[in-house]
Structure 1
Amino acid sequence: MGLAGRKIAITGAARGLGAALAIVAADQGMTPLLLGRNRARLSEVADAIAERTGKQPDCLRCDLADPASVADVAGCIAAEHGDLDILVNSGSQWTGGAFEALTDEQIAAMVDSTVTGTMALTRRLLPVLRARPQADIHTVVSMSGLPYARMRGSSVAFVAAKAGQSGFVQALTEELIGTNVRVTSVYPGIIEDVSPVEEAWSSERGADDMLSDRNVVEAILYILSQPPNVAIRSLVIERARTEFLS
């Protein structure tokens, strides 16, 4: 399935992987909706897209840890973007450090943004996606959500939240089998943030280098570009000289 002309909503689009995906998606002729907590950063990403494509994407403030914010943005999309084809769940809060040093509020924010907020937004947008001829729900989980992967700097709360998100993806995949909505996911390892607007984006990486946003963005778009009869349900992507599995 070609990607040009499809409308894609991306959470966590204000920075990092979500921002990089939005920019590259626009470069490939898609229409991105930028969802994130920070309006100023969303506007910066939108301006970068407009400079490259001549089209200014819509920015929608969405705090996945706030049920009211999730409800508001879902209502806006349902009312104004009924042609939404793809939802990419990329947004998630992260905090490292020892478990006993985390506050209850930090733990709740990670779980709410990664699991509860992602599930709530997906549920509210499912009728919009079900109304399309062909639609996708894609979730950026993490190798931290795999039962056999090591923590490698993540916090206990983040690992637990990502495990919950992984369970959600697996269950939703089963429930939506046979419908017009394809459910897929990617499980990246540690990523070095590189933006498509930076020269480093085009630099080739060697076997000793970390994953970059470019590696993961290309993997996501490859998954989404598959024809309707193909579903790459999950893809684990890690640097060749792995850190998570040893």
Structure 2
Amino acid sequence: MRTSGRKYVITGAGRGLGAALATVMADAGARLVLLARSETALQGTADTIFARTGQRVATMTCDLADRESSAAAGAWLAREHADLDGVIHNGAMWLPAPFSAASDADIETCVASAAIGSLILTRHLLPNLLAREHADIHTVVSTSGVQNYPLDGVSVAFKAAKFAQAGFVQGLTDELAGTGVRVTAVFPGDFDDASPVDPGWTEARADDAGLTGREVVDAILFILNLPPSVTVPSLVIESRTGNGIVSRGGFA
């Protein structure tokens, strides 16, 4: 796998999809730096990776909804991990409907965690990524960020945040065209939060069972493992039943 031996930072790596992706990537030989709000959750992911692979991953607490925290993490990564081959933006706050029940603080945190923190982190890392022969900036968005998808259980704030992420991906794709930095995104529908350490991770499921976390991880790794001359700018994935349309992304 092309990711083997390469170094990536993953946000929202304390639980859910971020933790699962980190575990699977470490299993495949990737070198990792993990960010999340919760130091305890981060340590849990780090301990799992060490037990499975012997790799001691670097970690740093980072609240993507906080500008200063995101800037501090970006500066630390640029200074201490200048050899990063890619960043995977996974962290985001899940905020359910109805919009009228959301507090002002929740709306601000939801949008900031998905969009502003990712932009600030990327700005700090971009000079180092551009200096690499090949690098990746990958974002886990959601089908909530796809034009004309129905709301279906998510809040207006969450949908707005995911549209902001989609705009970030598109804008950065245009700006970095012709460079060695590949900008990609996956737009998953609703999926379960199974972990690679769970017995059911590898079990076959019926076609109508819904999208799984493992399938989302597989989709992300499919994109990252493509040759650097090949890109999948955006990949929308759903269960075949078509009844899941939003990723309840992790923010731990």
TM-score w.r.t. the length of structure 1 is 0.97
Q: What is the aligned length?
A: 245
Q: Is the 8 A contact 2:210 2:244 kept in 1?
A: no
Deviation at 1:97, TM superposition (A): 2.4
- Aligned: 1:27 with 2:42: no
Aligned residue for 2:238?
Answer: 238
Please give the residue correspondences for 1:5-20 in structure 2 after superposition, counting only pairs within 5 Å. 5-20=5-20
Identity %: 49
Distance 1:142 1:215 in 2: 14
TM-superposition CA deviations, 1:70-114 (whole Å, max 9, x none): 111111111111110010000000111211111110000011011
Q: Is the 8 A contact 1:10 1:22 kept in 2?
A: yes
Aligned residue for 2:153?
Answer: 153
Q: Is the 8 A contact 1:149 1:244 kept in 2?
A: no
Aligned residue for 1:186?
Answer: 186
Aligned residue for 2:249?
Answer: none
Distance 1:243 1:151 in 2: 12
The alignment yields a C-alpha RMSD, in angstroms, of: 1.0
- Please tell me the residue identity of whatever aligns with 1:222: F
Q: Is the 8 A contact 1:150 1:244 kept in 2?
A: no
Distance 1:70 1:176 in 2: 22
Deviation at 1:184, TM superposition (A): 0.3
Distance 2:208 2:155 in 1: 25
Aligned residue for 2:248?
Answer: none
- Matched position secondary structure for 2:242: coil
Distance 1:97 1:71 in 2: 30
- Matched position secondary structure for 2:85: strand
Structure 1 unaligned segments of length 5 or more: list them: none
Deviation at 1:2, TM superposition (A): 1.4
Distance 1:32 1:21 in 2: 11
Distance 1:205 1:186 in 2: 22
Q: Is the 8 A contact 1:141 1:187 kept in 2?
A: yes
Aligned residue for 2:167?
Answer: 167
- Please tell me the residue identity of whatever aligns with 2:118: T
Runs (4+) of structure 1 exceeding 4 A deviation are none
Q: Which gives a bigger RCO, structure 1 or 2 (Cα 8 Å, sep 6+)?
A: 2
TM-score w.r.t. the length of structure 2 is 0.95
